[in-house]
A and B are shown apart, each in its own frame.
Chain A
Amino acid sequence: MVTWRLFKETSRSLTTAEGLAIDDTLPWAVSNLGSPPILHLYTFIPSVIVGKYQDIEAALKLDRCKARGIEYNRRSTGGGTVIMGPDIVALGFGINVDHPGLRKGVAGVFESLSQVLILALKKVGISASFRPKNDLEVQGKKIAGLSAASESGKALLFHTSLLVDFDVELMTDIMNTPLIKLHDKGYNCFSQRMTAARWELGRNMQVAEMLDAIQEAFEEYFDIRFKADTPSAREKAKIQEFIDTRYTQHDWIFSHKHPRSRMGIGQLKTKGGLLEIYLSLSGGSIENVVITGDFFSTTENVQKLENALKWTSARPEMIEKNLASVWEDEMIYGVDVPTLTAAVLKAKENQVRL
């Protein structure tokens, strides 16, 4: 049976520089040292990590992070802001994109890795599903986010954060999200959109149990066995290089300041009720969107619509096209795609610089 390498850290939580530097070394080792695929399972100290191309000053309230002792950093994969900590599984995975068993293409790779995580959650008693394109959800609530980057040669770095538990208050305090303007509604909105393993299971599940389940799920899905391992001398040198040149450097952490990171709120009275849209924009793309109001719908449907717009173009025709791609009759009672598009565009018109 084929053997892959497993870097599993259960004795302590890692700093953002350590964890992210080890993760970046995984595809480097696969590509440059001929290493078999490597899975890194661990947790971070309390921290918040933005995506490679996010504007960190627009995404976070850095003064609140400092006041609460929350580390912040920037990862090398795409996507949005994630809160990390001792109760949130961090997963880094380095593999060659042509590796047998891994589905091909952007969508294929995300689907393969999602299947592994769905299997892991099943092992602990949680029925999750893949929310195209990049999240895992439990009955419409997000439990894990996935991101990836093509690295040197054919190697791929894959990141996941999976919530065993989650501090909603912390999130609302340190992140600049469209929901900040919602004040007391904010807590409720997050609670409706996210879940965690402990919340689903109703017991004090330990992170180690989830790490074991993920390890087993990888072995089962790819038909391999893991060998517990630690970085080699050359890999350790590379990890240190990433720490020194990237994850402790102001230029890396504060790179990618977008002149057009903005947030806007739009309200539109419709036959189906009031639509209230909270929108975060980064350049010409939608980074985050929240659809609220007094209309009649389900959390699952609202999230499906929100997800269809996240990380897509903010051009009017693209907004309409992306909403139409998931639209089903009466997803929001009394509202149609053109009306919802109009409400989103109102939020876009009302944008202010973050």
Chain B
Amino acid sequence: MAEIKGYNMPDELYYHEEHSWARVDGNKVTVGMTDFFQKEAGDIVFVDLPEEEDEVEQGEVCGKIQSRKWIGKLVAPVSGEIAEINEDLEEDCSLINTDPYGKGWILVIEASNLDEELGNLMHGVDTVTEFIEKEIQKAEEEKAKE
């Protein structure tokens, strides 16, 4: 478990630059949104998800997430077939806020090209720390200009 600049970014996960995470278990990849995303977006009020058995490509927008009046993107971290959707989110999207790596998981992908695609994701404390620091720095730079 790694806490980076106040954000919980578990070591064992893989991360896409659009703030989705991937937990690999054999060929099944559980997907959710990071603690960084949920803290930054605020209260999640709606999720618009694909259907089970839909095919998705790595980097493709496969769902939408509304936080207050903003509609953000859920980007598939790997390619494959949607194997499962977290139906609990229909009742309570705030699980993404309260437990982003647990009950707030969003969907499971049966990966089709895992070995190759994992290399395109961020993994490991050093890489993820660098990414989070850059995201924070970008935000602070614009704020400082005002």
Chain B residues with CB below 8 A from A146, complex form = 69
Q: Which of A102, A148, A285, A310 contacts B142 (CB 8 A)?
A: A102
Stretch from B2-10, B35-43, B79-87 that touches the partner: B35-43
Chain B residues with CB below 8 A from A147, complex form = 69-70
Q: How far is the CA of A149 from the CA of B64 in the complex (A)?
A: 9
A312 at the interface (CB under 8 A from B): yes
With A52-B66, A283-B90, A313-B93 known as contacts, the answer to whether A106 contacts B142 (CB < 8 A) is no
Digitize A142-160: 1 where CB-to-B-CB distance is under 8 Å, 0 elsewhere: 0001111110100000000
Do B69 and A101 have beta carbons less than 8 Å apart?
Answer: no
With A103-B143, A104-B142, A313-B97 known as contacts, the answer to whether A149 contacts B45 (CB < 8 A) is no
B23 at the interface (CB under 8 A from A): no
Do B71 and A108 have beta carbons less than 8 Å apart?
Answer: no
Q: How far is the CA of A233 from the CA of B40 in the complex (A)?
A: 38
Q: Which of B43, B66, B70, B93 has the most CB of A within 10 A?
A: B70
Q: How far is the CA of A80 from the CA of B18 in the complex (A)?
A: 26
Q: Which of A79, A105, A148, A318 contacts B94 (CB 8 A)?
A: A318
Digitize A100-129: 1 where CB-to-B-CB distance is under 8 Å, 0 elsewhere: 111111111110100100000000000000
Do A285 and B73 have beta carbons less than 8 Å apart?
Answer: no
CB under 8 Å from chain B, chain A span 63-114: 76-80, 98, 100-110, 112
A269 at the interface (CB under 8 A from B): no
Q: Which of B48, B61, B64, B92 contacts A284 (CB 8 A)?
A: B92
A8 at the interface (CB under 8 A from B): no
Do A77 and B93 have beta carbons less than 8 Å apart?
Answer: no
Digitize A309-326: 1 where CB-to-B-CB distance is under 8 Å, 0 elsewhere: 011110100100010000
With A146-B69, A148-B70 known as contacts, the answer to whether A313 contacts B45 (CB < 8 A) is yes
Do B71 and A52 have beta carbons less than 8 Å apart?
Answer: yes
- Chain B, Cβ-Cβ closest to A103: B142
Q: How far is the CA of A101 from the CA of B69 in the complex (A)?
A: 22
With A104-B139, A105-B139, A284-B91 known as contacts, the answer to whether A77 contacts B42 (CB < 8 A) is no
Do A283 and B91 have beta carbons less than 8 Å apart?
Answer: yes
Q: How far is the CA of A311 from the CA of B135 in the complex (A)?
A: 26
Do B48 and A53 have beta carbons less than 8 Å apart?
Answer: yes
B50 at the interface (CB under 8 A from A): no
Min CB distance, A27 to chain B, in Å?
12
Chain B residues with CB below 8 A from A61, complex form = none
Q: Tally the A-B contacts, defined by beta carbons under 8 Å.
A: 110
Chain A residues with CB below 8 A from B61, complex form = 152
Q: Which of A100, A101, A115, A311 contacts B68 (CB 8 A)?
A: A311
Q: Which of A76, A100, A311 contacts B45 (CB 8 A)?
A: A311
Q: How far is the CA of A108 from the CA of B143 in the complex (A)?
A: 8
Min CB distance, B81 to chain A, in Å?
23
Q: Which of A100, A103, A133, A285 contacts B46 (CB 8 A)?
A: A285
Do B46 and A106 have beta carbons less than 8 Å apart?
Answer: no
Do A312 and B70 have beta carbons less than 8 Å apart?
Answer: no
Do B73 and A150 have beta carbons less than 8 Å apart?
Answer: yes
Chain A residues with CB below 8 A from B142, complex form = 100-104, 108, 112
B112 at the interface (CB under 8 A from A): no
With A53-B46, A284-B94, A311-B45 known as contacts, the answer to whether A107 contacts B71 (CB < 8 A) is no
A134 at the interface (CB under 8 A from B): yes
Do B42 and A315 have beta carbons less than 8 Å apart?
Answer: no
B120 at the interface (CB under 8 A from A): no
CB under 8 Å from chain A, chain B span 42-78: 42-46, 48, 61, 64, 66-73
Min CB distance, A332 to chain B, in Å?
22
Q: How far is the CA of A144 from the CA of B77 in the complex (A)?
A: 37
Do B139 and A108 have beta carbons less than 8 Å apart?
Answer: yes
Closest 6 CB pairs of A and B: A313-B94, A79-B69, A285-B45, A149-B71, A147-B69, A104-B139
A-B contacts besides A133-B68, A133-B69, A284-B92, 4 pairs, CB < 8 Å: A52-B64, A78-B68, A101-B145, A150-B72
Binding site for B on A (CB under 8 A): 51-53, 76-80, 98, 100-110, 112, 115, 133-134, 145-150, 152, 282-285, 310-313, 315, 318, 322
Binding site for A on B (CB under 8 A): 40-46, 48, 61, 64, 66-73, 90-94, 97, 135, 138-139, 142-143, 145-146
7 A-B Cβ contacts within 8 A?
A76-B71, A98-B138, A106-B68, A149-B72, A150-B73, A310-B68, A313-B92
